[in-house]
Structure 1
Amino acid sequence: MVDPSSPSPPSVPGDAVERTRHVLARMRAPERLAEPLVGALGPGAAEELSEDPWRLLALGSVTPTQADFCARALLAGAALPTDPRRVRALVAHLLQRAARDGHTAIDRDRMEGALSRLGVRSAESALEAVSEDGRVLLSEVVPDTDDDEFGDEAPEMPDAELFFALASLGAAEQRLGEGLARLVGGEPVMDSATAAETVQAAALALDRELVPETASALVTVALRGVSVLVHGPGSAGTIAEAVRYAAAIAEESQVGLVVAAPTASGAAALNRRLDGVVRVRTVAELLAGSEAPAAGLVVVVDAMALDTETAAALVDRCGTDTHLALVADPAQLPSAGPGQVVADLITSGVAAVAVLPGDPAPGPQVLLAAEVGDGELADDVRAPGREVVLVPAASEGEAAYRALQLVTDSIPRTFDLTSDQVQVITSGRGGEAGSTALSAACKARLNPGPGAVLGLDPGDRVLLAGRGPGYGPGDTGVLRAVGEKGPSVELADGRTVTVADPSHLRPGWAVPLAAALGGAWPAAVLVFTPDAALSRPAVYTALTRGERHVSIVNAAGPALAESVRDVPAVHRYTRLVQVLREG
């Protein structure tokens, strides 16, 4: 999902911007909002604002209090708290804010509570105001009941629960649930005995000892239309082996295989392990084609990074007989975009779940991640090979200094890597040790320049924060050139894409943790600051981004260990479980 705070493309109609400036002046609103409003509302932004000043809330940076002030300036005494235009805008605003926090749907009680705090006292007026609003989708769900509790009497139907969702997001979640239900009913690719024999033969051909859990997981993939293969830290080798066996099943059954990763860096990491046996593509690359994948078996690794809309688009492309296998570590953070697809699939019970084995000889990094998964973060780590290094920092300034030193000197020198192979991952964007400041510091040291393209120059590492042909949010790469069709970026998997919308480009020397989901790099520098939203899944996810090494720069002090102990999960409100169970 594209960050709502992203700048709008610069190519907006000049007259539309000028008309919008005039309306904003009448509303006593900053005229600098004109261009982003035209980007958000279209060339008719001025007319929309004149008719409905609360449309200002289409910008995520505008608060309800600010919108009310501007509405009073424009409408005077006609700007009432119960104005249906205001109520519609507030509902959409609350849903947009919820989506940024990862939720896909908000139930009636929570919506009523939020609206009440904003001066909307009547739930019925809210329902009436949004009933014909194309931005909002209303859905009713009848809760499950246990018929036994009613004895011999006919049970009464429980009241339906009402959910609010952004129209596009709610429709995507409905479509995803229905699509997964369609795939669940698919026929087996082969029977269990044949699948087991095929996997065993592949293991012999590879001269590998077949672990029973891996064999069982691959039989599950062959039998069931939708499966989730769960794993823990340090399972990269096991995942690559499972993909090889999936390729053997696909070849033996002649159904074809597609393997996809959420990001280019994740695809590149798995491709290095597969040695050309199977080419792993990114999900964005898979979705860029107009045709459904010509495969009866689709395997998605790092599937925790799949948000609702991306997963819905992927499932839409799968044929009726496609088997979809999601390989995921449930201890990680949910996706950067709204939803928690893997967690909801597991909770629903409609998908088959199998467990891949862990590393039989875990190293210090894997052991530390496992301890974090259990709720503990040690003060020090035994790592003779310096696979993990803990770096305390007394301030954000010191954390930034230490991170820059690690990227430009310590890690490349110790592990025979280049700075390009080290990714800085921060717990937030702002502050001295946030991704923005650290990216600027790394650029100044590693690729100084005037910043000719949105503050960037050829040779800069970049992060993509939007969707386009062959790329998606979270992809990283290097800016190579700027042509007539847009900036050219060489992605981490070696492909070069043209970024049609320059606003998708961000500095990528340092990236926020949400953008690192699904990514993998030879080494990672993790920077934790006091003001970050820390949790056990956040720390665990960060620890599992570096393949050979992680440095943990801790400016959060004791709060880091406390978050691992006391914040075990990141909760999201979704409807996918209900949609799946409705079938």
Structure 2
Amino acid sequence: MGAPEQLAAPLVAVLGPDADARITADPWRLLDLRSVTPRQADYCARTLLGEAARPDDPRRVRALVAHLLRRASRDGHTAVEYGRMARALRGLGVAAADAALQAAAEDDRILLVEDLPEEDDEEFDGDLPEPPAPERFLALAALGEAERRLAAELVRMTASEPVMDSATATETVLAAAGKLGRDPAPETVAALVTVALRGVAVLLCGPAAAGTGVEAIRYAAAIAADSQVGMALVAPSASGAAALNRALADTGVRARTVAALLADPAVEAGLVVVDQATAVDTETFAALAAACPAEAHLVLLADPGQLPSAGPGQVVADLVASRTAAVAVLPDAPDAGPREALAAGVGEGRLPDRVDLPGREVVFVPAASAGEAAHRTLQLVTDSIPRTFGLEPDQVQIVTAAPGGEAGAAALNAACKARFNPGPGRVAGLDVGDRVLLAGRGAGYAPGDTGVLRGHDGSGAAVELADGTTVAVAHPAHLRPGWAVPLAAALGGAWPAAVAVFTPDAALSRPALRTALTRGQRHVSVVNAAGAELAAAVRSTSAPPRSTRLARLLREG
């Protein structure tokens, strides 16, 4: 049928052992592979079907809709407005787009939903107006159903009973603060009272309030202990959990990853606290919310100025917009440092022409090209940062915004492997001792987790994650080199030090730099090969909008 032989194995992985028969019956199912374009699928269809391969063939239309929805989900959308999809199909030669979309909605991979426009409060005189036309959206069925389930679970949790009355919660917080020698701001106390009273609470904390966020976790633990409901503290990734555990080392509170929590049969906690919640996508949030006990309270700590999750959705933003959850803004920590102040300023569109912090918490390193950026990055990881801050190279994480090329993750990882752990690459191009990034889901791990490959046998690989736990990875495709990770994979992560790389072809934006500046706890080096374009992006470019239905579903209850 004209399909390259190298697609055989990926097609079997996606479509199953009968992939050949399924492709023969519907050659446009080639589009189930991310690497295949509509033009390539059309070529293969013409080779197999000849003149019968028409642009409006229902099989082609269904495949194109599913392909476009998958692409939209990679851009963060959970649903696509009907008219937008119709225009995209017209651009691909489907003339009767409306009829085609109706046909596509019959495909079990695709979900068609209709929403009535939300009512306004305008008064009217005379006869009742005609009902408005419904707003229609298309979504991948699994993703659309996950968004519905998440909305239902959040609505359930908003009805949870208080775990304490406001007076007792206030006393508990002040007592816990007294033991720590702290004098919490009134806004912090009020936020924790809200946590005790409301089933779903969003605590917004920017970079300068990160210390207050950790303090809030301590107070939430005191509320959970005094009310005897228990608390589960989770982070999106293993490095984020490790950072929390370093900050909470003097307490009995231990953080674990969302993936580790979901690997348990049930969550035994009346307070479930999610740190860096903007990094959690819709499908993961749906699973987490479903795992929470009936009367549990869900507490989300989030910096709204960071990049949204690598997966589809914008759960925190939708919760805030829906006005169905309690929202509190945590105040800046009294001991917030210059790095936090710089990141906060970036979130407001400000980047100084010269960054010269006294403790070198942040250093901007100019580079004239991507090649020079790669050279500077290796120099920082191998020498400058370890020597200046007393860290080991394995405590420094490279985070690159470059989509590829000399400063992309692949090239930087190849250079790091040659420097730190050269070897034949016996395990999917990796060797025992290599730093790894997990790119799939399994028992106890999720995309974005980082760690070290500790062993491998016939059943799979043993990876020690950044939080000290060890997971078994059966699928070699889940393993990637992890000395350098894409910026999207670093969401929810934190390391003692980080090197962030920006190039002119990167997706430069205010949230991108703010996210990068908050990946390193002691130090961040920003290798800037984008020149003045980076500062211009900070001034004028926010994160692209995402199309989701969660806020509407929450308001509908």
TM-score, normalised by the number of residues in structure 2 = 0.98
Structure 2 CA distance for partners of 1:429 and 1:464, relative to 1, 3 Å: farther
Structure 1 residue 213: Cα displacement: 1.4
Other-structure match for 1:68: 42
Kindly indicate whether residue 224 of structure 2 is the aligned counterpart of residue 250 of structure 1: yes
- 8 Å CA contact 1:284–1:472 kept in 2: the answer is yes
Q: Which moved more, 1:378-387 or 1:464-473?
A: 378-387
Deviations for 1:24-56, whole angstroms, at most 9, x for unmatched residues? xxx222110111111111111101100000000
Structure 2 CA distance for partners of 1:555 and 1:37, relative to 1, 3 Å: same
- 8 Å CA contact 2:147–2:286 kept in 1: the answer is yes
Other-structure match for 2:433: 459
Other-structure match for 1:90: 64
Q: Alignment length, in residue pairs?
A: 556
**How does 1:424-443 map onto structure 2 within 5 Å?**
424-443=398-417
* Secondary structure of 2:83's aligned partner: helix
**How does 1:109-508 map onto structure 2 within 5 Å?**
109-275=83-249, 276-291=251-266, 293-508=267-482
Structure 1 residue 530: Cα displacement: 1.1
Other-structure match for 1:577: 551
Structure 1 residue 152: Cα displacement: 4.8
Amino acid at match of 2:198: R
- 8 Å CA contact 1:85–1:129 kept in 2: the answer is no
Deviations for 1:430-470, whole angstroms, at most 9, x for unmatched residues? 10000110011111111111111111111110000111101
Distance 1:381 1:364 in 2: 10
Deviations for 1:66-88, whole angstroms, at most 9, x for unmatched residues? 11111011000100011000000
- 8 Å CA contact 2:509–2:538 kept in 1: the answer is yes
Deviations for 1:61-115, whole angstroms, at most 9, x for unmatched residues? 1111111111011000100011000000000000000011111100111111111
Distance 1:402 1:352 in 2: 45
* Secondary structure of 1:382's aligned partner: coil
Structure 1 residue 145: Cα displacement: 1.8
* Secondary structure of 2:406's aligned partner: coil
Q: Which moved more, 1:187-196 or 1:359-368?
A: 359-368
Distance 1:508 1:521 in 2: 13
- 8 Å CA contact 2:208–2:344 kept in 1: the answer is no
Distance 2:209 2:499 in 1: 20
Structure 2 CA distance for partners of 1:147 and 1:383, relative to 1, 3 Å: closer
Structure 1 residue 147: Cα displacement: 4.5
Amino acid at match of 1:29: A
Distance 1:148 1:459 in 2: 65
- 8 Å CA contact 2:233–2:255 kept in 1: the answer is yes
Distance 1:268 1:427 in 2: 23
Amino acid at match of 2:256: R
Structure 1 residue 382: Cα displacement: 2.4
Q: Which moved more, 1:559-568 or 1:327-336?
A: 559-568
Distance 1:399 1:146 in 2: 53
Structure 1 residue 128: Cα displacement: 3.0
- 8 Å CA contact 1:481–1:489 kept in 2: the answer is yes
Structure 1 residue 429: Cα displacement: 4.2
Distance 1:472 1:517 in 2: 12
Other-structure match for 2:4: 30
Kindly indicate whether residue 522 of structure 2 is the aligned counterpart of residue 548 of structure 1: yes
Distance 2:269 2:502 in 1: 42
- 8 Å CA contact 1:199–1:215 kept in 2: the answer is yes
- 8 Å CA contact 2:77–2:312 kept in 1: the answer is yes
Structure 1 residue 379: Cα displacement: 2.4
Other-structure match for 1:564: 538
- 8 Å CA contact 1:259–1:279 kept in 2: the answer is yes
Distance 1:243 1:364 in 2: 23
* Secondary structure of 2:164's aligned partner: coil
* Secondary structure of 2:298's aligned partner: strand
Distance 2:279 2:500 in 1: 19
* Secondary structure of 1:448's aligned partner: coil
Structure 1 residue 559: Cα displacement: 1.3
Amino acid at match of 1:259: L
Amino acid at match of 1:258: A
Q: Which moved more, 1:279-288 or 1:236-245?
A: 236-245
Q: Which moved more, 1:332-341 or 1:138-147?
A: 138-147
Q: Which moved more, 1:299-308 or 1:202-211?
A: 202-211
**How does 1:36-55 map onto structure 2 within 5 Å?**
36-55=10-29
Amino acid at match of 2:15: L
Other-structure match for 1:24: none
CA RMSD of aligned residues (A): 1.1
Distance 2:507 2:526 in 1: 16
Amino acid at match of 1:328: A
Distance 2:554 2:374 in 1: 45
Structure 1 residue 252: Cα displacement: 1.1
Amino acid at match of 1:331: G
- 8 Å CA contact 1:364–1:381 kept in 2: the answer is no
Structure 1 residue 428: Cα displacement: 3.0
- 8 Å CA contact 2:306–2:512 kept in 1: the answer is yes
Amino acid at match of 2:245: N
Amino acid at match of 1:486: G
- 8 Å CA contact 1:535–1:570 kept in 2: the answer is no
Amino acid at match of 1:127: L
Distance 2:476 2:442 in 1: 11
* Secondary structure of 2:388's aligned partner: helix
Structure 1 residue 245: Cα displacement: 0.7
Structure 1 residue 569: Cα displacement: 2.7
Structure 1 residue 127: Cα displacement: 2.7
Structure 1 residue 290: Cα displacement: 1.9
Distance 1:475 1:581 in 2: 34
Other-structure match for 1:21: none
Distance 2:544 2:333 in 1: 26
Structure 1 residue 130: Cα displacement: 1.5
Other-structure match for 1:16: none
Structure 2 CA distance for partners of 1:202 and 1:152, relative to 1, 3 Å: farther
Unaligned runs of at least 5 residues, structure 1: 1-26
Q: 1:534 aligns with which of 508, 511, 514?
A: 508
Distance 1:241 1:152 in 2: 57
Structure 1 residue 532: Cα displacement: 1.0
Distance 1:564 1:288 in 2: 39
- 8 Å CA contact 1:429–1:436 kept in 2: the answer is no
Distance 1:203 1:422 in 2: 33
Structure 1 residue 149: Cα displacement: 3.3
Percent identical: 67
Distance 1:158 1:109 in 2: 16
